[in-house]
Structure 1
Amino acid sequence: MQKIKLSRAVLTNHSGITDIMRKENRLSALRDKMLVFGGLLSIIEILGIGIAFYLYHLNQITSFVIEVLALVVIIFMMALGLSRYYYDNVEYACPNCGDIFIPSFLAFNLAPHTPKFRKLTCPRCGKRSYCLEISRE
């Protein structure tokens, strides 16, 4: 897939943004993978909660506490890994100046977002706006 070059004119033209979003098949595939992995993470979480509930009712408090702590650590690490995987595969286009940039991991995770846009501050123009998410090459 060729890297999509963006310019200010392309980003301020709504049909240009629509064309870019349609061409991002790779980003759609990434989102599909994220959905599958997120579903698996949910299944693991539900199973872990079920096991914890079972241990609690058997009055095996030590096993219950260990299982809950292990579950929290496992879920946190898997969620962090999933977030990092997504972060490593996307970059953002500023709608104001057309700059393509990669925010910090912290800014990426804390920014309000929709499925296709994330509210970030552009490092080039300094404006905070909803930036278009595109796949990295």
Structure 2
Amino acid sequence: MEIIFYKENGDETILEISEDFYKWLALSDFSKIQKSTGIEIKTEVEEINIEAVRLENGIREKYISFFQTTILENTYPLILKLEEKSKTNLLKASSNQNSMENIVYKIKKSYEAISYLSKKENIYMEYL
């Protein structure tokens, strides 16, 4: 699964995400921010059609805010889990959705998404 950020000239940056993270996005407020529409991008070589969100008119800021909120909401529980685990086995994580491993993953991917969304040259975002 991936989120693709496009520049005006069609250059893209790909953010790889897990299927679980994608499902979480689909069930969260992320999916309610803006619906994808058909967009045609002209590159030097060809025209490509994508289903994407244009990052304009406050939409970019809404996505950034979503991921910032995710980081904030997950940082404190992560810290508590790190403190708890440091007493026994810091690196032992379960497959539980609320495991330290999954919380760290959400924080990391949300941070990466914010960094791509913050780049004004990325004008489209497609999530597959």
TM bucket, shorter chain: 0.3 to 0.5
TM-score by length of 2: 0.36
Structure with the higher fraction of residues in strand conformation: 2
Of the two, which has the highest radius of gyration? Answer: 1
Structure with the higher fraction of residues in helix conformation: 1
